[in-house]
Amino acid sequence: MPTILEINRELADKLYEEAQRDPQSPYAGKKVGIANGTVVVVADDWDEVDRQLDLAEPDSSKMFCIDMAEDCTETHWIGGAI
């Protein structure tokens, strides 16, 4: 059974592929917040993504964010050590 992180990541990968293929996609050039395998917010800025995700899910381990305008073939870690 996949973990919530795996589910969120799989959805993010699908949305990213769509956004890269289709410039008319609602996700193209946007920042996307996912929680529990569901798109919660599509926005132009991280502040809005943060606000909406906090309202949708208090547990940050169940969230995933992706910037569709960035090269997501590389992994970048942000934040402190756990």
How do the domains of the chain map onto residue ranges? 4-67
Q: How confident is the model at residue 74 (pLDDT cuts 50, 70, 90)?
A: low
Q: Is the pLDDT of residue 82 over 60?
A: no
Tokens of 51: 């606000």
Distance CA 28, CA 19 (A): 4
Q: Please, what is the Cα angle at 35 between 40 and 65, to 5 degrees?
A: 80
* Residue closest to 8 by CA, chosen among 78, 77, 60: 60
Report CA 64 to chain centroid distance, whole Å: 5
Mean pLDDT across the chain: 91
* pTM listed for this prediction: 0.84
In this predicted model, what pLDDT tens digit does every residue of 33-61 receive, in sequence order? 999 999 999 999 999 999 999 999 999 99
Q: Determine contact, residues 68/16, Cβ cutoff 8 Å.
A: yes
